[in-house]
Structure 1
């Protein structure tokens, strides 16, 4: 990333909902905006595109230009919507040529631009097809070509892979990453899928209830989640408490021990794979042991994801063979063990 290209404060008031998100994206950088339903992701994208007006205290600077009150059609921004929104009556070629035509290119020049981008996304032989005759992955690539054909300073992607089946999504994700890596402008990816974000983005921004709750690269986010939503996103058990050296008191006086040292407000986290289950109280090295009651069992890849209630509620991943030995049924009394070396404790402060 070289220099900030987008500098925005996305302030929007809509009824009782308030969005207030500071967002900066550099040249050649892809940022993923993640959050639960209703967090404000789509509102943020629409505000950038000019489809939702900013409040008086909002701002949108793009490559040094103030676009806060600029109409959508005059913004150097390309958008790929979740459902692609291709014009059904136009061929793939004419869909891609639409933007250049709107920007003043004559028909021949616009078609030359469209042909270039269809070649870039590997769809030259599909140029004359209407959207109804394209597969989901092909339609997604036409939508991307249409967005890039206007040479956008900012590219907005709204859940661009959500409409695809699992196999097509895997293939298209790799292609999309290649195109984003070559895009010289700024890119914002709005998604609820952590895998899309981790594969496609250089940096993650997490929003909840209209506010940024955490941001950073994938390694930082996955190692040190700061909300329950982020913990679920990256697959960790997360607890907030008060640290006193290696001990973190998290709930009703219950204490978890870590090899990390923290003082004051703190988080402690550990993966479900670090949770061991025993029919009786275990002996030996685990510093963290407690009785629990089995609440739920679900398939999770090749293993089982077990949810347990007790002084704290945790998720554990175990093999089917281990589950058979433990005779797992709801209400079963078990003992939980987590080694101190498997936990991470860190301050509950700003990054």
Structure 2
């Protein structure tokens, strides 16, 4: 998907929600035809943001516009209730009406919009056909598989012709195989959707596969946003670094090194001065039984905190001067006899690190 945002955005929001001990303060802009993924750890505020967009959680401050129409503006005492918003929602657990057939689940929204029963059912049948469930119109949710229920929920959301489509962890309830197939189907429907779409997920694969742009939220604030390439190549928080499988450290750059502590500076191929981040992959970390004597790979002492299998490698958690993750082959692990509590030396070469400024 390569559909760049245009101005003015279809969705223009400053979402401020206060709850006990938590404040969401997020600016969100989505263009027509654009899919934006909200990523973040549990409790970051992703679902609160989605509920505010849907009208299920009124804003305490800020404002929300969709297609130029103000949906929520506390200062002006303006609030459009959920049922009057041109918004379709696919909930994490789908929330299909258990007593209704797939056809009537999909027809529910159009009926609420005033469409006669026969016309609403005809529209539902068209949408069920589009999601590949034409033969399942008469089945109830308990007679559907997880993937089928997800597609009914998607058809129900799209049947109201929403200007804004919201998806809350839409693939989380599926097994791995069903998730793969359904992700491909969802990608196709999102590509065809002319409105704005916001996807809430904690799964980086879903975000990278489905979204044009990523917005990372932590503790109720946006900490990073951009296209997949920008976010994954230059993470700015530990959460984002873990998400894309990189080690991230912050220090002071001085030419081609980044000083992290009084006694440790990492080499880098990037010339830089000032506050900087430095990142490197776990596979770039080498482990040694003794301090390495290679000047191009300055080492630091580390303690093995844990070892577990990671694909064809073993992932080694290291603590000490730097909390670091290293991926080593089973042969290397056996040669070093890696066990929790063992003392080793770690190193990384300049060509395996990337440095970039802390500021924008």
TM-score by length of 2: 0.95
Q: 1:216 is matched with which residue? A: 226
Deviations 1:206-255 (A, max 9, x none): 01111100000111111100011111111110001111111211134421
Q: Which residue of 2 aligns with 1:139?
A: 149
Instruction: List per-residue Cα deviations over 1:154-198 (Å, max 9, x = no partner).
Output: 000000001111111111111111110110000000011111111
- SS of 2:325's partner is strand
Partner of 1:304 in structure 2?
A: 314
Deviation at 1:291, TM superposition (A): 2.2
Q: Structure 2 CA distance, aligned partners of 1:39 and 1:53?
A: 18
Contact 2:86–2:164 (Cα < 8 Å) also in 1:
yes
Equivalent in the alignment of 1:62: 66
Find the counterpart in structure 2 of residue 157 from structure 1.
167
Specify which of 182, 186, 199 is matched with residue 196 of structure 2.
186
How many angstroms does 1:300 deviate by? 1.1
- Structure 1 gap segments, 5+ residues each: none
Residues 78-97 of structure 1 correspond to what in structure 2 (within 5 A)?
78-97=88-107
Residue of structure 1 in register with 2:76 after alignment: none
Question: Contact 1:286–1:337 (CA<8 Å) still a contact in 2?
Answer: no
Aligned to 1:67, the other structure's residue is in SS state strand
Q: Deviations over 1:111-166 (max 9, x none)?
A: 11101110110000111100000000000000000000000000000000011111
- Is contact 1:251-1:312 (8 Å) kept? no
Q: Aligned equivalents of 1:26 and 1:199: distance in 2? A: 18
Between stretches 105-114 and 274-283, larger displacement belongs to: 274-283
Equivalent residue, structure 2, for 1:48: 53
Cα deviation for residue 302 of structure 1 reads: 2.0
1:70-128 Cα deviation digits (max 9, x unpaired): 01100000000000000000000100000000001001110111011101100001111
For 1:120, which of 130, 149, 156 is the aligned residue?
130
Aligned match of 2:296 in 286, 290, 308? 286
What is the CA-CA distance between 1:16 and the residue it aligns to?
2.0
1:339 aligns with 2:349: yes
In the alignment, structure 1 residue 37 sits paired with structure 2 residue 47: no
Over the aligned positions, Cα root-mean-square deviation in angstroms equals 1.1
Counterpart selection for 2:20 from 8, 15, 27: 15
CA contact (8 A) 2:255 2:273 kept: yes
Write out per-residue CA displacement over residues 1-22 of structure 1, whole angstroms, 9 at most, x where no aligned residue. 4441000001111122111100
User: In structure 1, how many angstroms separate the alpha carbons of the residues matched to 2:346 and 2:211?
Assistant: 36
The normalised TM-score by structure 1 is 0.97
Q: Where does structure 1 differ by over 6 angstroms across 4 or more consecutive aligned residues?
A: none
Partner of 1:326: 336
Helix, strand or coil for the counterpart of 2:43?
coil
Give the structure 2 partner of residue 256 of structure 1. 266
Q: Which runs of 5+ in 2 are unaligned?
A: 73-78
CA contact (8 A) 1:259 1:340 kept: yes
What SS is found at the alignment partner of 1:212? strand
Name the CA distance, whole Å, in 1 between partners of 2:123 and 2:274: 59
How much does 1:278 deviate? 1.9
2:104 aligns to what SS in structure 1? helix
